[in-house]
Each structure stands twice: as C-alpha cells, then as structure tokens.
Amino acid sequence: MNAIISASELASDLTGENPPVLLDIRWQLSTAKAAGAPAFDGRAEYEKGHIPGAVFVDLDADLAGPAGSAGRHPLPDVEHFGAVMRAAGVSADRDVIVYDGGQGWAAARAWWLLRWTGHPSVRVLDGGLAAWGGRLESGDERPTAAGSFVPETNTTDLLDADAAAALARSGLLLDARAAERYRGDVEPIDRVGGHIPGAVSAPTTENVTADGTFKPPADLAERFNSLGASETSEVGVYCGSGVSGAHEVLALAVAGIPASLYVGSWSEWSSDESRPVAKGPDPQ
C-alpha cells in the first residue's frame, strides 16, 4: 500500500461505506517555551478546526514516553499507545489516515508507530491539513465506538544507539536534521552539535516541494540513491528526537526503499558523553 494519500483521495474515501479512521497529530517543534513564550498547543489548534471525524492525538503524551536519557521523544509505553489508539477508534481491519498541520513530521511519527506495532493499513495525508481545502469542524470529537487494535512490536524497523553506530559503518545511516546541525555549526537544543560518525547528511526538508507535499517517487529514489541507498544496502535514519526522522523514513517508503528508525536519535546519542561525535560536512 502507498504510504501517503492525496486530499482528493481522502475526500473520496470519507464518503465510502467503510471510511478510514482519521487521526489529527497537530504538533510543532518549538523552543518558544524555553524563551518564556507559550508553547504550541496542538489540541487548541485542532479544536479551532479539523477534518470532520478526526480525533486528536497528542504526540508528546501519546506517541512518546517521558523525555530523559533515552531522548526527548523515546518510544511510548506500548500498552498506553494501544489504549490511545483503541480510544481513537483504531482497529486492524480499518484503514487509518494521519495528518498534521502540514509539515508532516508529527503525522509521520504516528504512521511509523502504527506500522511498527503491526497496523497493516496506515497512510499520511500528503501536505497535511494545508492541502485539505475542504470543510472543517470545530470542537472535540470522539469515535462512536472504540477500536480493537492490539499493538505487536517488531525489531526490524527499530535501531538503538549501538545498531545505529554499526549501520553507519556497514550500510547507510541518514541524518534527517538541518545540515548546519549535522555539521555542528549550531545546536539549539541538544548538549553538543555534530553527527554520528559515518552518518550522511540528508535533511528531510529536501524531500518535499514548496507546498509541503512529497516530491515524486522517482525523484526521491534518485535522491536517496545518490546518497548511497541501493537495492542491497541496509538503510537507517535518525534526527533530533525521532520525529523528523520518521518523516524521512516515510519519504524513503514513498521511494520504495525500506528503512529503520533510530528513535532516540541525536538527543539520546549526544547525552552520552562516551559516544563519539563527528563535526563538519564529512561523514567521518
């Protein structure tokens, strides 16, 4: 199944006999709170206007565990995640469509988690709410009936720090952050700037067009092939905390290239002073 869906396709599916479950994952990476300004409130934005039938899911509370030594957005407790998905109406035998405000990072995190826990049919609205263009509902919504989804995790799609370090030597490890953070020129969030030795810079922002929709699959495949991806190479991705990295895994899926995610990402790696740090444009 295609990993993304267009707004026109979604509008058509919503009028069908078995419409998909819609999850709204409105979220933004923001340093506003540290500066004393109000943090972005995804639920408030959802309640102002969302695609009819969509249920809000909080990335920080439901798609990640508490921040700590495992990173800013470590894996959530699987039982809690399953309960949240069931409360949102998610079942294994019903399509799920996830979207966010348009950047795609938060929606991709939900997409990755549902795939990692075994849901067979989940897609991301390409371009997010900004691409919708249809009628919006205000207020809160809950499904008429709870879902039955029971998550079952796997190790195939997941990397820990040691596996990421090994993959940077044996395969292809992509760094989805901005190039200046990869080089270590700036680091606005984590303890130190730079990258995992051997990782290749591949900002996820370069996977989308100006309107936030993904570039054509052939263009994405050409990009990743130029960075070292091949039919035989093992590919992994990391970012700052496993959110924008999920978006890069989604872009790779659109290109037909399977990839694993290092969820702890740079926020976990850089917090451990025993881990090596590379700086500059060269992977090593």
**Dihedral angle of Cα 42, 81, 69, 33, to the nearest 10 degrees:** 10
Beta-carbon contacts of residue 9 (< 8 Å; ≥ 6 apart): none
The two structure tokens encoding residue 271: 């917090």
Which residue is listed with tokens 């026109």? Answer: 8
Centroid of chain to Cα 27 = 11
**Residue 230 dihedral angles phi and psi, to the nearest 5°:** -145, 175
Q: What is the DSSP letter of 77?
A: P
* 137 bridge partner residues: 50
Which positions are catalytic?
239
SS3 label, residue 114? helix
